[in-house]
Amino acid sequence: MANEAAIINAVARTSLWLQPHRIVLILIALGLVLSAAFFMRWDWLPQYYEMGLIGIWRSLWILAVTCVLGFLLAVPLGLAQATGSFWFAAPAKVFCTVIRGTPLLIQLWLLYYGLGSLFPQYPWIRESWMWPYLRQAWPYGVLALTLSFAGYEGEVMRGAFAGVPKGQLEAARAFGMSRWKTFRRIWLPQAIYRALPTLTGETVLQLKSTPLVATISVIDIFAVSSKVRQDTYLTYEPLLLLALIYMTITGILVLALGRIEARIPNKIG
């Protein structure tokens, strides 16, 4: 019975959504997509197919690594600002302000071209084990994107840490938990719960920042599309496909992270 009701409900909702004007709009959109598929040039696709897949993989990999590292860095940044003494809070605040107040492109170029041009002057850096990595572009890209994510998320974590009710922490202390245990069992989990709703938005913003690494010669999907444009002299086809790829990734991210968010109890505090 309940099942039938659910099905009827779903059908009703679908028919509510699928009003006549929407059908017309969908048909127009389909027509646009089909005409783009038939009347534009896509013969370059087989040649660049593999390169594109590698590019997508690299973009996603950069996104995942920088988000995870950035979040790990954001926790101490937020904690320092929420409770730390002046000597901890002030540097964290300055870091967040600087990261949020300057364009990511400038941070990226400062690290890659700026630091990259300073390093070779020091022989001990050139002789160290890090040098093979420091000569490549991707560590600078990952570093810049990580710092950027940490700067924005650190501000969110500050609010999240500050938002956990004092009584919870006092209760934990009253139970005889040590400071570290209180932090690990009570404060951090609740702060993360509070910060999670912003995580989808921040991750999508981070995805939209990843193409900037193409400007320092990391071959991500954006760089692949630029290469196609250079090789084939086509302007629109690679860019349109690129936009479609990013929209698809965004859609998948929003759906996946939305599921994770839905699993976490949001009635807290």
Ranges within 132-191 binding another protein (CB under 8 A): 134-135, 137
CA contacts within 13 A on the Cβ side of 239: 6
At residue 108's C-alpha, the angle toward residues 81 and 66, to 5°, is: 60
Q: Which of 243, 256, 264, 268 binds another protein (CB under 8 A)?
A: 243
Supply the minimum distance, in Å, between the C-beta of residue 118 and another protein.
6
CB 164 within 8 A of CB 190: yes
Burial 25-35 (b: 16+ CB within 10 A, else e): eeeeeeeeeee
Residue whose CB is less far from another protein, 184 or 208: 208
Residue 36 sits in the site that holds another protein (CB under 8 A): no
Residue 73 Cβ vs another protein, minimum distance, rounded to whole Å: 19
Contact at 8 Å (CB) between 194 and 264? no
Q: How far apart are CA 69 and CA 145, in angstroms?
A: 10
The upper half-sphere exposure of residue 122, i.e. CA atoms within 13 Å in the direction of its Cβ, equals 11
Minimum distance, C-beta of residue 179 to another protein, in the bound complex (Å) = 27
Q: Which of 13, 100, 181, 185 forms a contact with another protein (CB under 8 A)?
A: 100
Q: Does 35 bind another protein (CB under 8 A)?
A: no
55 closest CA partner among 256, 261, 238: 238
Q: How far is the CB of 183 from another protein (least distance, A)?
A: 25
Residue 142 or 186 having the CB closest to another protein: 142
Q: Which residues make up the interface to another protein (CB under 8 A)?
A: 19, 21-22, 25, 97-98, 100-107, 109-110, 112-123, 126, 134-135, 137, 204, 207-212, 214-217, 222-223, 226, 229-230, 235-236, 239-240, 242-243, 246-247, 250-251
